[in-house]
A and B are shown apart, each in its own frame.
Chain A
Amino acid sequence: MKIMKFAILTLLAASTGAAHAADPFVVGIVAPTTGSLTTVGLRQLSAVQWWEKKVNAAGGIVGRPVLVVHCNDEGSPEKSASCVRDLISKGSVILLNASVTGPIRAAMPLLQNGPVMVTPSPNIVPSPASYVFQTSPSDVDLTKSIASFLKQNKLDRLAMLASTDASGEVGVASAAEVFPKEGIKYDLARIDLRANDASIQLANIVKPEVKVVFSNYSGGGAAAVVKSYNNLSLAQPLIVSYANISDAFINVIKNDLPTRLLGTGLKAVAPEMLDDPARRKHVEDFMASYKEMTKDNVDMLTLLGLTLADTADAVLRNVKDPRDAASVRTYLETNPVPSIQMLRWSKDRHVGMTADDVSVLEYKKGKWVKADPVQ
């Protein structure tokens, strides 16, 4: 049997001229590296490229090198769709999508017959029937972590700021779903992406009785929120969103840090919060190696990029024929993938993490650590 299989494979390889033994595994990644979402795309891409170098330096996977092919979708759905078509035609065995909501949604219908696409965006929540897998927790899960933080601190009032882009929109929907159930009253204001100033919004929602403010703004413009916070001399702790847990963001607002800066983040951002020593080591090794290679610090987005790389790594190592999309899907639905935290998908849920993987963190002395209570 083995010989037969080998013969068929060799024949196939010879006839297509594509699957030569030393031919690389092609891993396609869609990431915006120009346009307004460059920060998001570049960091995740950079983590995946770190993985590519590391794997290839170690001799590849089962003797085959890995080739990461990047396509820049500029954050546009139309280009995202062409990217995915292009990457499929280049023979990608797995697709990584480090873009944002609209473009990812444009790519999804193209995957009726695979290949598997993995994305860290919390806004997708892919259908379990699809070939799409989401590594990060959903936005609802992130919102739940804030709700439970408020409850731990016996607070039932929140002021919330959301941008007018897709993540703001999803954030508003999650808030409407989560907070009323938990008995939390919240005042909401939206802020335009081009706004220079958030003081109007803050003036409208931050009242003396509100003890915590949450900004769901995830882009670079979120700096305006923090700076306006400072302008108005607000004293309440400010919780920023997922994507703002980064050195780049801290660098922008370093002259205007609020009294207390909190943020929703994966526990891996503060590795000491991880219970599993293997995960902790994995994250710490990555942080050190990545810094050595790129001179950059690891942040939330880089960690999310690593979840993509780890998923691809697990698939390539463990699935016999990664070109068979169905078996890749079955593998991911049945085996947890060890990454920065454990990614657990199932036949009913293509979201790899839950609210338990998220925590409210606090920025203290140049580091993100577990948040202190709020008085």
Chain B
Amino acid sequence: MSRALSIGVAAVTAVLLGVAWLGWIPGVTSSTITATALRALALMGLNLIFGVVGMLAFGQAAFMALPAYFAGIMDRMGVPLLIALPLALTMVVLLARAVAEVLVRLPGVYLAVGTLGFGMVVEGLARAFPSWTGGASGLVFEHGRNFGTNVWCAIAVVSLAFGVGCYVWYVRGAVWRRLRAIRHDELAASVLGIDVHREKAKIFTIGSAYSAVGGLLLFHYVGVLIPEDAGVVRSLEQIGTLLLGGAGFLVGPIVGAFLVDWFFVISGYAARYELVIYGATFLLVVMYAPQGVSGLLLRPWKRLAGDKAEKAPVVEIRHSVAAVSSDSRVSGRPCLLLHNVTQSFGGVHALVDISLDVKAGEVFTLVGPNGAGKTTLFNIVSGVLRPTSGRTLLDGVDITDLPVHRRAALIGRSFQTPRLVPELSVLANVVLRVDQLSPKLSEQARQAIALEQLRMFELENLSYLSVAEVGLGQRKLIDIARAAVGNPPIVLLDEPAVGLTSAELMHLSEMIRKLKRQGCAVVIVEHNIEFVSNIADRGIVLDSGREIARGTVRDIMAEESVKAAYFGALS
């Protein structure tokens, strides 16, 4: 978000708050503001976890209730408030980190079940130990009564403002790009060098910290906490509130919390009809405003603001990506070595005893019919798969056990269908990889490097377009340019020529030659034989996971076994 925009938002918020505090909005009093602000603060956590990263967390209410329970228990044990509150928060954050460690690896529905289960456990424990937690009758907090309505209102608004400030400060630039990438495509993100699980665990922890702070304050303000407050129904209500406000938007939690609180006050007379009105409103929102009320409100604004915020001035490049520098490379030195690699999936052999040696500065091709094991081999080299047996060496170092994201600096990989993040600009998609390679550089420097990369591959005129505006062929070239950021020792290209026009094919050949000159070893999987014969130096032919030929491209094309398995009668 640009500075002007943040100032604008802050000003509008201040005016709205003032108007609300003065009681000019029917049904809104300072206590409404307090409750709304605290609830919005807690909701910001869910917004990070679910709205921004897309993790289905069904147990955030538990993270709101837990710190209040911890603080309440400590209070009963006589721990002073000023020690109990921070200690309770610390405990919850540590617990959230531990929960994240277990649950964040779970895919979609299982994460939902896991977090839902966590909420049920917390609710159940709160019920099961009434002597500590107040049980089903509720835990009473006395301390909150020491503050008057206006003091509480101030505490709530300041906390929320602080929460928003932290969010704006943290979720921008590299972090924003990373989170978008994870949300869109976890595999592509990890190949770019993002430690997806660690990032998700971090966001889960930070989000839960938001929930914890909001909950701790909210329950002290309310004065009573009952086990249901930790349960799944409350968690679902939170998701509903966030969606109403607009998931993924900075103001989504605030808008949602306000609308729900306000609706609750003004519908006081509706009695029996309340549920119907609520259900109908909710249905209308999800059907006709799937981006929530924030989406509706911000739509015209977004069109005005466009994506211009990203067009930062280009600074002169004094930095280069902190990967292996190309001068130290000697062409022809062995670079990638595979020793007797075998991969089997539940007894089915995808690769059998494959050994490879790819030298720096050469283009090496993997040839073979579909299902021969070429993509499996790519997955082993890039670390997506761990081979059943055999070793992978890169520049003499054994990387067999290195996770995907830690190989990313050494290995660039493009995909058969380019895996760019559609919500980001072309430039931002490239910066995404620079972020991982050179996290210490400034945002401007990273943008400059990415721009230089696009310029080198003659794609700079696309930089500020959104991915959706770029043709399929160009997307492939961008994906390849991105994979080659920082001249990694190895670049893996999966069917780069498929779907390219002849002009784009020429462009591609030029790109590959450039990579070669820079000392990268380029490994290509490709069916376009004409293209491969022109560009590749050596190769290996696979059939059903076994090597049937190797050598220079010319030699292997001529081999009889290859003809039979691959070319058939056509050649």
Contact = CB atoms under 8 A, between A and B. Distances in A.
Interface in B323-362: none
Nearest to B141: A109
Given A77-B223, A78-B218, A112-B145, A101 B31 contact: no
Interface in A281-305: none
A78 B35 CA distance: 9
B29 A86 contact: yes
B374 interface: no
Contact of A33 (B135, B136, B274): B274
A76 B271 contact: no
B264 interface: yes
B275 interface: yes
Nearest to B276: A34
B137 A166 contact: yes
Interface string A80-118: 011101100100000000000111011011101000000
B261 interface: yes
B195 to A, nearest CB: 38
B271 A33 contact: yes
Contacts of A45: 271
Nearest to B142: A109
A165 B142 CA distance: 23
Contact of A86 (B145, B221, B228, B268): B268
A82 B31 contact: yes
B224 to A, nearest CB: 4
B272 interface: yes
Contacts of B288: none
B225 interface: yes
A105 B140 contact: yes
B222 interface: yes
Nearest to A105: B224
Nearest to A172: B130
A77 B265 contact: no
Interface stretch (A64-72, A176-184, A244-252): A64-72
Contact of B229 (A70, A72, A78, A89): A78
A175 to B, nearest CB: 14
Contact of A89 (B29, B35, B138, B264): B29
Nearest to B32: A82
Contacts of A71: 268
Contacts of B218: 78
Contact-residue bracket for chain B:
20 to 34
A34 B274 contact: yes
Contacts of A346: none
Q: Which of A70, A109, A110, A112 has the most CB of B within 10 A?
A: A109
Contacts, number: 93
A73 to B, nearest CB: 9
B222 A85 contact: no
B35 A34 contact: no
A159 to B, nearest CB: 22
A76 B265 contact: no
A5 B30 CA distance: 34
Interface string A132-175: 00000000000000000000000000000000111011100000
A362 B250 CA distance: 60
A81 B265 CA distance: 12
B550 interface: no
B265 A86 contact: yes
Nearest to B265: A86
B261 A82 contact: yes
Contact of A85 (B31, B226, B267): B31
A341 interface: no
A77 B229 contact: yes
A77 B268 contact: no
Nearest to A123: B137
Given A86-B268, A164-B127, A169 B136 contact: yes
Contacts of A109: 142, 144-145, 223
Interface of A: 33-34, 42, 45, 69-72, 75-79, 81-83, 85-86, 89, 101-103, 105-106, 108-110, 112, 123, 164-166, 168-170
7 contacts: A33-B271, A71-B268, A83-B268, A86-B268, A102-B138, A102-B228, A106-B223
Lowest 6 A-B CB distances belong to which pairs?
A106-B224, A102-B226, A102-B138, A166-B136, A77-B224, A85-B31
Given A77-B224, A164-B127, A170-B137, 14 more contacts: A45-B271, A70-B271, A71-B268, A72-B267, A75-B228, A85-B29, A85-B31, A101-B136, A102-B137, A102-B226, A109-B145, A109-B223, A166-B136, A166-B137
